[in-house]
Structure 1
């Protein structure tokens, strides 16, 4: 089925770009717009811009741009139809559908089919928990013993899978789902050579649905509760969905959908290990918590947390051996620029058992008292093992310094070097020097992996571990910048002027310069006989000319909704400014700075003049080329006379523009 156009229009009108993007990243007000670190690429300084008045987003780093629908498509990796359904559900809009052809049905996005079958399975497991004797006797009893209320069970959509071979798959096949999609979703295990479809992956287990940031079910975790009735004692306690088209465990954090708003509000995230840790803390009113679900922490998971907060506290049980193993992977968190702290619980306790034992308030108090920054915590743990052995102490110094240099911020590195110096009673300058050596070594290795680039630092911070010991010459930096500039796509002057001209038409074409004289009417009347070289700009100019001939001036929104992605992205880029003028200029200092819309008459005149000047300069180049190949003296004279005519026009335009020419 296909969503009808009226429903699409209602969804577009209801969707608010700030609300939609705010569900996935933490936005900060910046003038009239909002900014954040881009969720589509790794960055430390925010370059992602959301414009509420135009209902668009734009990243100045990676170039991602679009409206609310495009954002949902990109962030969740789904198709247009599924993005519309997500927004319709968010804004409680009833979807009206139209029949599609068989060919269109066959082209349905496989990812959308996976989301549908996984949601079906979730609902099936929830029903089995509440509506069957087995589910109530085993699954519901287990959840009640752990203290999970009905509200909590509903919040996390907990369920139960019957201890039969094919309860889910039989129900799904009866509802019209295919064996192929069940297998691709990880719900069915195919039995080679069998006459049957196969058997359910999850049997006789309580079910923990795993949601993505948007709230869609993408996988399941399942815990066995009773002995295997078939006598096989090798069943794992926990069983998870396999990797699928929509589920990559290294990208996912359990509970992120339920926790994201609390993380944003508290500006802090607690990281635990298991499903029940997350649920128990939510039950206790601590909702800014997620779990890595037993996997080693990955860069993708860290960046997912970083969308909502730079502050993370990792909650460990009292197993010191496990903590030591985990410490090795936490350098990743530092490398991503997050502020990481660690909390240990008493031996034998994990977050789930401890919060149920002492209650919410005592749990929060323990976190406040036991929280330590990661570097200090790691130093203490390693020093306990090293004792007075000088060789082990030297190894501890190397390992801790290696962690500190992972921190991108030079000021934070300086603070930690000072603290480590006091803890280990070693010279601070020695630590800084060792850190600089590691930074230079790392930088050299990275440069060696990038063919065609010189070994020049990208900036002073890159090779400065927080103190004196290394300086970079300005000429080296200038050389590197020059080299980077040569790698950017080069455009001739005419293309830049064509872009400036078309930009003016797209953004301000319908504005009036004088009564009954629009920008479009004025500028098009001044460039008769000029055609553009760039195909996209030529197409846009043609659109304006053809529509103006029918007395239609195309509005900006026409290009924001254009079917060509390149035109949509260009329009968004023109509408979005990287920097905004502070309100303080006018409100506090009473300094009036005219905006582009305030001086359109001058801008239009200058754009026309510059375009004509560059266009004429191209004609002059053509004249010189023709002069070289002229056979007779008469031809040469005619060509040079034409050249001098263009030269005179060019000089007159330069004088009008105030340009200095040779």
Structure 2
């Protein structure tokens, strides 16, 4: 279905850029704009700017830019239509649609179809839990035994998958979902060899049969995968199953509970990191909502950065298993390396966050965290010192280990504080620790150079090999920091990723009217003047160029009349100029929003690049009435000079062309004609130079 233009405009007007992006990162006001660390690439200093006045975002680090719709497309990996639906749901806007043609239906985005079928599965499993006899007698009592209320079950959208081999698959097929898309979503497993002697042989079965289900949501609240727990004591099956990697689910990028926790994390400025799904759910039910768990994977850099969008503070909550604590400590360096502050809390022997909060209540649980939270370095030192005792060799190894961790902290002041603290704890000279840290940093830099050189050699070798032959990249060792604690995978996982052709599940989205994201246009020579002309048109086209001299004449009208008949060399600027000209002929004066909200990514990106300023006037200057002239104050001069420079560049090109023609012809009459034209162009150059105040030789 296609969303009509009026509905699109309502969504665009309602989708406040700060509100939309604020669901994904913590924005801080600085000047007229809001700033944050970019959610699209790792960075430690904010370069991601949001302009509420213009309704756009722009990262000065990676170049990502757009409006509210483009942000949802970029952050969620959605097509244009699905991003509109996401925003319509957020702002309570009813979607008005028209039917797509067969060709448009085929253009549906596979990712969107996966999200649709996963949402269907979530609803199906929930319905089983509350309304099906098997779910009411098996799944529902399990959640109640865990102490989960109906409200909590609904908040986390928990469910139950029936015991039948293909109960879900049959129901999904009956509702119009293709077997291919069910397999691609990780919900249905296809047998490797479907060619059997018996034509009635089972060809597919449900992945999560006879299990309670835990939907895994992305930051926007869309179901992207499932975790599932078997309730029978069956040693032939894994206790827990996770969805396989799919187009929409990448375990290393996801945190369980992040959708339910993000607002609380931002408000309380700390994220509690636990091991299991039930830990997250129990703490949330107890009113401790700023809690997440890694989703079936060891803690990854991507997950740390996801937390970093909402807070710079992580508190890791461990159970009382000392062996598990020691194993996990080795990976804490990743959190430090990303510049986040990390503390650790251990619970009494035999307790985990789930059991402990139910045992002592939420108030006492929070007080336990406050009383026992220790920074990572202190925690690690005290734990290791107990084991090292007075053994000098163990203490020496411990000190080296501590130095290695501290040296990964990017902030020099934090490093200095921890060196002081470690020196006191270890009773060792602080300068010795710093010297050792410098050695470690040098070795790391050398290793990075070696890795880079190795990768370059691999690439060179790959380029020299025959087509189709590849050189595989060495597989890095798995991360040491394992917080999943509960996720395991059965042999059924080997069926995931079976090659199937995509068939749209249900046609529910606009055709993608988009083009690949284009980098910022690189220009030189005449292109610089074209850029400036388009920049003035986009930012000031609707304004009067000189109200005192020519009231009512807009900048767009003035520029287009002055450069009538001139075409631009830079394709993107010619494309935008054509849009201006066509709309002007229809009596329309275009503003910046027309281009900022454009469906074509290259036009939208260029418009944002040309309308975004990295720096703004200090509020202190405004406070003290220090006036800084704006472009609007000198619009007539800017437009006049740009037109002159455009004509100058255009004239210079003509002169070069005439000189080339003169050198290539031997006809004296033709040479005379070309020379006369050249002299006329030379005279125009002098006149323009005089206006610009430059000298022509």
Q: 1:82 to 1:444 in 2, by over 3 A?
A: same
Pairing 1:198–2:234 present:
no
Aligned to 2:284, what secondary structure does the other structure show?
Answer: helix
Higher relative contact order (CA 8 A, sep 6+): 2
d(CA) in 2 for partners of 1:516 and 1:135? 71
Aligned to 1:508: 540
Q: 1:392 to 1:637 in 2, by over 3 A?
A: farther
1:231-289 Cα shifts (integer Å, max 9, x gaps): xx222221211222211111111000000111111111110010010011111111000
> 1:543-558 alignment to 2 at 5 Å?
543-549=579-585, 551-558=587-594
1:55-88 Cα shifts (integer Å, max 9, x gaps): 2222221111222121111111122222122112
Aligned to 1:518: 554
Give the stretch that moved more between structures: 629-638 or 122-131: 629-638
Aligned to 1:541: 577
Aligned to 2:353: 351
The alignment yields a C-alpha RMSD, in angstroms, of 2.9
Q: Which of residues 269, 272, 284 in structure 1 aligns to 2:271? A: 269
Measure how far apart 1:308 and its partner are: 1.0
Aligned to 2:255, what secondary structure does the other structure show?
Answer: coil
Measure how far apart 1:92 and its partner are: 1.9
Aligned to 2:466: none
Unaligned runs of 5+ in 2: 456-519
Aligned to 2:186: 186
Pairing 1:573–2:579 present:
no
Q: 1:531 to 1:206 in 2, by over 3 A?
A: closer
Aligned to 1:74: 74
Q: 1:282 to 1:2 in 2, by over 3 A?
A: same
Aligned to 1:214: 220
Whether contact under 8 Å (1:173, 1:179) holds in the other structure is yes
Measure how far apart 1:555 and its partner are: 2.9
Aligned to 1:484: none
Q: 1:533 to 1:179 in 2, by over 3 A?
A: closer
Q: 1:205 to 1:544 in 2, by over 3 A?
A: closer
Whether contact under 8 Å (1:275, 1:291) holds in the other structure is yes
d(CA) in 2 for partners of 1:164 and 1:629? 84
Aligned to 1:126: 126
d(CA) in 2 for partners of 1:82 and 1:68? 13
Whether contact under 8 Å (2:212, 2:231) holds in the other structure is yes
d(CA) in 2 for partners of 1:132 and 1:654? 84
1:121-144 Cα shifts (integer Å, max 9, x gaps): 111111111123332233222222
Whether contact under 8 Å (2:521, 2:606) holds in the other structure is no
Aligned to 1:459: none
Q: Which of residues 434, 438, 441 in structure 2 aligns to 1:439? A: 441
Q: 1:80 to 1:634 in 2, by over 3 A?
A: closer
> 1:171-570 alignment to 2 at 5 Å?
171-191=171-191, 192=193, 193=196, 195-228=201-234, 233-447=235-449, 491-513=523-545, 514-527=550-563, 530-549=566-585, 551-570=587-606
d(CA) in 1 for partners of 2:432 and 2:694? 56
Whether contact under 8 Å (1:497, 1:607) holds in the other structure is yes
Aligned to 1:458: none
Pairing 1:22–2:58 present:
no
Measure how far apart 1:315 and its partner are: 0.7
Aligned to 2:287, what secondary structure does the other structure show?
Answer: coil
Aligned to 1:608: 643
d(CA) in 2 for partners of 1:449 and 1:492? 36
d(CA) in 2 for partners of 1:655 and 1:440? 59
d(CA) in 2 for partners of 1:409 and 1:61? 19
1:148-192 Cα shifts (integer Å, max 9, x gaps): 111111100111222232222222222222222222222222244
1:398-421 Cα shifts (integer Å, max 9, x gaps): 222111121111221121112111
> 1:32-51 alignment to 2 at 5 Å?
32-51=32-51
Give the stretch that moved more between structures: 234-243 or 557-566: 557-566
Q: 1:409 to 1:660 in 2, by over 3 A?
A: farther
Q: How many pairs are equivalent?
A: 625
Q: 1:617 to 1:441 in 2, by over 3 A?
A: farther
Unaligned runs of 5+ in 1: 454-487
d(CA) in 2 for partners of 1:452 and 1:522? 58
Aligned to 1:461: none
Whether contact under 8 Å (1:273, 1:294) holds in the other structure is no
Aligned to 1:63, what secondary structure does the other structure show?
Answer: coil
Measure how far apart 1:502 and its partner are: 1.5
Aligned to 1:239, what secondary structure does the other structure show?
Answer: strand
